[in-house]
Structure 1
Amino acid sequence: MKNTITYIIVLLLSQLFTFSWSQTYTKKQIDSINNMPFDDIIANSTKSLQLFNKVLADSKKQNYKLGIATSYEKMALCYFYQSKYDLHSKYTFIAIENFNQLKQNGKVASLYASYGYHLRKRNLDSGIMYMQKGLKIGEKYNTEYELRGIYDNYGVLKEMKKEYDSAFLFYNKSLTLKEKANDKIGIPYSLNKIGMLQLTLKDFAKAKQNLDKAYQIRLEIDDKIGIAENLNFYGYYFFETKNNQKSIEYFTKALDESKAYNYNYLTQDNYQKLSELYELNSDYKTALDNFKNYTTYKDSISNINLRIKQAELDTEFDTERKEKEILEQKANLAVKNTYIVIIISLLILSIIVGYFMLKNQKMKTLQLQKENELKDALLKIETQNRLQEQRLQISRDLHDNIGAQLTFIISSVDSLKYAFADGNPKLEDKLNNISSFTKETIYELRDTIWAMNKEEITIEDLKTRISNFIDNAQLSLNGIRFNFNFDTKSFQSFTSRDGMNIYRLIQEAVNNAIKHADASQIDVSFIESDNKITIVVSDNGKGFDLTTTEIGNGLNTMKKRASELKGNFNIEASEKGTKIYLSLPNQNEV
């Protein structure tokens, strides 16, 4: 419906121009044309430009200075949407000069600011300079009506520069002026800008408060398009707060509203986000359905632009044909020119249709690629699930069978010790050794099962596991102090195999210090620097001579584990103690 209205406006604009060129507009008519809605102006910028040229000429005939200034302003707008930026600049500054002569300070401020805002994607620094110029004029003459929009747009430029404190300042200034004027339509725009910036900065509580305020106002004034927009913002809010289910709920509500009121750009965005969310939830069928709808609406928007372009070509052809009939008064030449224009129009149309057919084919190829990616992702997840099930089954078997048997051995040994409590001391020592060895084996088995049940082992997992190990060591020893230090931020996780190797290496180093070093203090440290992590196990024991001491199984095992980790292993030993170093690259960087 909206597209049909736009098409009718284009045709009416063409007819208005065709039949009114010979007449001179009155000042009232000039004002009416100059105040034409923005959407109508850009729907057919070529015809609008011709009309404003006519209005400019008539304003000059009557020395109507306000009409002259406003016509230049509207012509500058047309040139901007035709991407003729040099003419946009020229006519903007002519308009500013004319409004200056009329002492229309609000318009001068607004035009400088608008010019800066239009520059933001081509030259942000120049855009900010012109925005500041408009801002200073507006504040100097206290043009509150224009300052509402200027503050909002200046906040956008500050946000683009990542100067977020300044962006908040100007959004709030705009909001204050709108609240003062009780601007129910404008207030939600400022609240949403503030809320979405707070969402970007992860200030979720304040973001929610401002989005709620904007939503309530739009409900009160029954702003259907605004309501759809705010439901979309809620979808982004819950997505950022990791509540995918709520995010899906609000994007779905926003989708229903945007479709009901033909807000196609918002509909396209809702389908795109729903596709991404369902993919994250591994609901690949629904994700694919939403992705198809997204591409359909994307094509639809392109087709709307095509129809507008076709309407412009049709009206231009009709005008050209009539003008030639009047000038030449020869029916045969008019027919000839008509055929020429038709051929050119068909050629242009063929090129446009060919372009969109090629574009559509590319979209289908991309869609097929997306479908294949979804299938591959599903297959990968199924494979990972099967591997995880196998790991869980093996770990359950180890726990239920071998773990139970080891527990039975401990129980049996304890029973034997009780039975022979007053018997042979050597037998009792042997039984104690068997019991201790079996308990250590159970601990080792638990560590193995723990590693098997994880796809990744994080720094926090290692910290917890090593802390438990050291706590158990402290319970069985007196006189040894343990210090455990972590200084890591960017290191997040290791594979289960690498994590287990790191844990075993630290465990071996601590056990060696306990058994052989006669130490009173043992330190375990994780130190991050230069995209690597260094693990240091140090003691203040008696140390040993690396050049004369024969390397035992424990040190060889640690070196082997370091090699498997692709890390650097080093030992420093002296009379003051021993330090063992393991340096690893950042797994996340790799």
Structure 2
Amino acid sequence: MKKIFLFLFFISILGCKKHNNYADNQTVEKIDFFLKNTSNNKYSEKEQLIYNDKALELLMNIENSAFKRKSMDLVIDNYFFLNQWEKYNKISRELLEISKSANDTNYIAKAMRYQGNYYYKKEVLDSSFYFYNKSEFFFKNIKDYNNYSIVLLKKGIVQLELNDFFGADISLTKAYNILKKTDDNQRIYAALNSLGTVSSELKEYDRAILYYKDALEIVTNAKLETSEHQTANCYNNIGLVYLDLKNYEKAIFYFKKAISEKRLKEESPLLYSSVIDNLAYSKLKKNDYKNIEKLFFESLKIRDSLNYSSYKILTYIHLSEYFYKINDIIKAKKYSFNAIETAKISKLPYYSIAALKQASIVDKENSSKYSEDYVRITDSLQIVERNSKDRLARIQLETDELKKQNLVLEERNRDVLNFLFGTILFVGFLYYMRVQRSKERELALKQAHQKANEEIYRLIISHQNQLEEGRDLEKKRLSKELHDGVLGRLFGLRLNLDGLNSFDDADAKQQRLEYLNELQIIEQDLREISHELSRENLVLINNFVAILNRLVEEQAKVNTAKIKMIIADDIQWDKVSNIIKINLYRILQEALQNINKHAQAKNISIHFRTDKKENLLFDIEDDGIGYDTTDKKKKGIGTKNIVERTQQCNGFIDIKSEVGVGSKIIITFPVDSKTIKI
């Protein structure tokens, strides 16, 4: 379809211009005839190639013109579909040269992209990156955003394969942001799938899963399912992320969903072998050995028949791990050796590293030798990777220099625009300064208000300390009273009762009853003293708790949300420093105010407790509108103050929020030490 479209496009252009100054009518008609037959599916690929070669032969004998460049572009496109890569490379170079001589930026950019395609096919990734990078520059310069996004996608995939994950993330994100505005669903799927792989490599697993699920949604909605089995590929990729997360249950779930795709084994055997190998490996990690040996060997058989060495090495390593786990050391050594030998023959250093690592585990006798080889290959790979990244950086630098030169040329025509922009910027700056000063004054007032509140609270704490000192004196008095009063009376009663032991007359019995009454009086006195001490201790503990309750009650009057606060009974508030109490009070106050202003919440939950390490935990959660925590604009002064107060107390803060779900702040404070216990 693409070839037919390009052909019709060519015919429409030709119809408008009718004849070209550089080619006579007969030549144009012959080229038209040959290109038409090249795009005709009734001919075999061999016949199509002959017609394409004849069209090229005629084109090479005419002078450089727009017609020639467009026709050569079609010839190159045909060579691509006919899998004639050397001819594809040769003619794309020729197109680049004639486009440069004609200063035709459009075809310069296209020819460079074709060169990038050729070197990517030949796995010369540095050269591929170079031409994609140059092509990107020209397409962006002429504002051809469709081709610009395609080159960014290809460039990002090359960067991914070169392990330049941050660069790949930038390129692929740019490509996706353009492509998602189009109906090019196949490339949107490719961009999302590649972004998922980049995120997984960067260990941003949540983001990776989102990208893969978005890719799956594109496949489903746009009905992209082909013999490549995009749906199964998405499920397999999601399963791999959960495998990295060690969530083996979910990994197995997605691998099974991938296997359930119809005709997967027949139409995409390599993908099928990967899925069953991943499924077996997930079950191995879960210690579920049922059928995994069968799955591994089925995967190995398929990969061996397709002669994919890298995939075979992975299965050998997995088999070695499996037999090592079931204590079959001989087979474990055998398959680790197979992995090493296959990696050597195939000259795949990355897989050699994985194979050597496994061999050092299962073959203890030769572990040191394998470890030495592992370190040697790893070091050499790091050097190669570093050199590769340096080359990418140099290429990017060269492109940046071209951009700078282009900017210098463009600036000559921007004097008036710059003046206008400068004027607008100056006015905007004055307005910004005015608004900023207003905000600074408002902030100063808030800070003054906060300082005043803190001073009041310090006075409260100071008053609490004075109360504690008074209670200590009262306790000493009660202790003295117990010792000198109650104990003295008990001692006297004991002596008197002891003296009555030898008497059994009516008077002695009467005296015993009197002494028993006296004991009951002493018992009642002791009970009252005990209750008084308990009340004092409870008041001491609940003093700060009461302050917190009052704060919540005050906020409940102005806050539309329902507030629920839970304070664990086992918190030793007397051990919590006054500085932490002050900041904890202010954090709670600030959080409640933020929720009241912005969250639109219906329910607020506050919880104070301690963990197993005796750290003080405080969290506040609401069911409001939430916000994007990655958006710096959403982080206002209130949130900044909460973070700073937490840090002042050597605490740890975790802010979680999701748009439409709500927010949660979790803070950990040290109780009786300067740092949090881990």
TM-score normalised over the length of structure 2: 0.38
Q: Greater relative contact order: 1 or 2 (C-alpha under 8 angstroms, separation 6 or more)?
A: 1
